[in-house]
Structure 1
Amino acid sequence: MFKLNFKGIPLKVFLLSMFVFLFSAAQAQAQSLPGDHGRWIGTLEGSMVDTQGSGLVYDFQFKEDGTVDVEKSLTVSKLKQTFNWTMEGANIVLSGDASGPIGELSDRIINYIDETRYEFKHVDGVTDVEIRKSKPFWSWMHLVFLFVVLMVGNELSRYYKGVSYLLYFILPIALIPHWLKAGFDGWFRWIKLYSAVAGSVFTMIFRFHNIDGKTWAKFVVMLILAINIAEAVLQDFSQPDLPNLINAIAGVLCMITISRWKGIKRDEEKPHDMLWPGMTTFWILAYDIWNITFVYINFPNTVAFSFIVLLAPTVAAIWIKKGTYLQARAFTLAIYMMYLFSFKAFADNSLGLTFVIPMPRSEGLVMTMALVSLAFNLAYFILHYRWRFTGKAPANLEVGQSESVL
């Protein structure tokens, strides 16, 4: 079994990632002058997008011939339109077909803020949408950096109670004034933030405060996982589009196939991890697919980050400690949500950077992902309940009848 050694190479990798990240921030100040041809990206999330607080991405690709291709990624589709652009002083003026797919940008003035940012009014006429020059290399480096942060944060949370108290008790209160500046006004992000923190708090209590033998405590662990899924399911059910409905059904199947929660226990060996041996590999895979599909549909602005957030606990459960997937999921999700709220405010107010990596998108791709999510969760549901009612199960596939390999 592999264990992270903070005195060895992983620490060096972390420090190197920190250096790369800080260097990228410094480089942001040296980027090309406003109006430079190239790719500029803006994101928006919250009640101004829709009542559910979803996200969207504006992707501008300015060309020397005076045109700009704009792509707008929404919950189930990507709209495309080409505009003409001219400079009016330091500002950019767009012109094009007002009846087109992104007609709200026709005759729109994109105002200069500074060397790193422009902004324009959203369709509500109130909200400002900031766009920044895209830097793909640094965006990918940021994902690597985030992955390292999550892995190291998970290990520190496992080995040091003081770190856990700091991360999950003190910071979620102390940073509220800073988080209010991040601009998240949709209910989903705030609920997800504090439910993730609550999950980490209870995980720590389960490990260190002598409740690991209590059935009610194990039930609460299971309930926290189910609530985490239910939050996203409600978000999907509240949306009007078919892919959301399909993925919501997949999420319901994911919830009702949670099993063997009475086997949750505290490892007697240090660092006394919370283990769920009966959480099967197939279920984890179905959960990951459902979760990334949910984010892909509803939050095109953060889907790349969410993939990393799902990858981290899976890697931790495979290569660091078997049976710790849920514990790692709780820690890494809480760290990510706190990072998202903290870093967004910091990046928006200080760095002038965009780390968004727009993913390929179309109505066909969205529907395909929703169907794949449903297929995996439906397959597991059928096999799981076939085993529960008949005792029959695949010989080499855990669907609840034995402990997972993770």
Structure 2
Amino acid sequence: MDIPLWHYIASMTAYLVFLLVLIDVMRKHTRLAFVAVVFAVLSFPFWNEVEGWFRWAKILSVLVPMAFVVGPARLAWYYKDNQSAIAKFYRGNWVLFVLYGVLFLNIAEATLKDFQTANYMNAICGVILCATIPWPSYKNGTHQYWLFDPKRPNDLLFYSTHAWNFLYTTWNMCFVYGESPAFFFSSACILVAAELYPVLKNRPELYIIARIYTLAAHVLIRGIYDVFTPVMNSEPIFNENALMIWGAINLVLHVPFVIWYFRKQRAAKEAPFGHNEPPLRAQAA
């Protein structure tokens, strides 16, 4: 199908704007975000477009934790004066370690798929990203890298570095380019939105909350109906050589990063962070 250039420009711009607005609404309206994700999970009878182990793993590993971990935890902090057992349970540190695991799983799923499709250099980048996700807190460290902001709207904050966020974005774009060429442009929109939103807010720690809401919306839409390929089908631009070159460039970028990361971590006894310093563990408790 021959899609006019202006269709690509208009549809991608509209989708990007929609995603940026979505992030802002889901961030600022904690209760609405919880209800929306619960309804997203309950829509599973309509997931007609989900096929193959990777697609099922992706949609379930995104929406289920959003509905049963992120949403309830944000609500528990939203009503932080509530001392019920369930509220205290969801304000526990276990939530942060589960979310660390979900992010790790999100990257690992795609990394396995990269290995399966022989996109080996990009797959190695996925391994590096898994190894450099900041732990929620470190035994001998002083900072808290993952937390729910106790102030409303109770954002999930993730104190990484601009470099990690950027490398995750270019790695993921390369992965999608190889795994689902037809959906590359639509997936690029959600990755750009997650990268752009924290920049616009000058708060890099908002990267993960931006990422999870855009990804949840995207996998849900793709799972129910393909609205993307009729207006932004990117399969015509796929090139196997370009994929390999992109993977090689990603690896060249990731190798110095991982060396720098572990040198910094060894010296500080905890992960490096960006210009916004994560709160001290005592303050975040």
What TM-score, normalized by structure 2, do the two folds share? Answer: 0.81
Residue 177 of structure 1 is aligned with which of 18, 42, 45?
A: 45
Q: Determine which structure has more spread, i.e. the larger CA radius of gyration.
A: 1
Higher RCO (Cα < 8 Å, 6 or more apart): 2
Which of the pair is proportionally richer in strand?
Answer: 1
1:192 alignment partner in structure 2: 58
2:114–2:120 contact (8 Å) kept in structure 1: yes
How far apart are the structure 1 equivalents of 2:228 and 2:189? 19
How far apart are the structure 1 equivalents of 2:10 and 2:31? 29
Query: Which string of whole-angstrom CA distances, capped at 9 and with x for unpartnered residues, describes residues 74-128 of structure 1?
Result: xxxxxxxxxxxxxxxxxxxxxxxxxxxxxxxxxxxxxxxxxxxxxxxxxxxxxxx
Q: 1:297 to 1:319 in 2, by over 3 A?
A: same
Which of the pair is proportionally richer in helix?
Answer: 2
Distance apart, 1:342 and its partner CA: 2.9
Residue 165 of structure 2 is aligned with which of 275, 280, 284?
A: 284
Q: 1:359 to 1:142 in 2, by over 3 A?
A: same
1:331 alignment partner in structure 2: 213
SS at match of 1:265: strand
Query: What is the percentage of aligned positions where both structures have the same residue?
Result: 24
1:294 alignment partner in structure 2: 175
Query: Which string of whole-angstrom CA distances, capped at 9 and with x for unpartnered residues, describes residues 229-248 of structure 1?
Result: 01101111222x3xx11111
Residue 186 of structure 2 is aligned with which of 305, 311, 327?
A: 305
Flag structure 1 segments of 5+ consecutive residues without an equivalent. 1-39, 41-132, 393-398
Matched AA of 2:46: H
2:34–2:72 contact (8 Å) kept in structure 1: no
1:154–1:331 contact (8 Å) kept in structure 2: yes
Between the two proteins, the alignment pairs up a number of residues equal to 257
Aligned CA-pair RMSD = 2.5
- The ranges of structure 1 where at least 4 consecutive aligned residues each deviate by more than 6 angstroms after the TM superposition are none
In the alignment, is residue 401 of structure 1 matched against residue 272 of structure 2? yes
How far apart are the structure 2 equivalents of 1:403 and 1:354? 38
How far apart are the structure 2 equivalents of 1:361 and 1:171? 31
What TM-score, normalized by structure 1, do the two folds share? Answer: 0.58
* Stretch of structure 1 that moved more, 221-230 or 358-367: 358-367
Matched AA of 1:216: W
Q: 1:171 to 1:213 in 2, by over 3 A?
A: closer
Q: 1:292 to 1:359 in 2, by over 3 A?
A: farther
2:185–2:232 contact (8 Å) kept in structure 1: no
SS at match of 1:248: helix
SS at match of 1:275: strand
Distance apart, 1:325 and its partner CA: 0.7
1:152 alignment partner in structure 2: 21
How far apart are the structure 2 equivalents of 1:289 and 1:199? 24
How far apart are the structure 2 equivalents of 1:402 and 1:185? 38
2:104 alignment partner in structure 1: 226
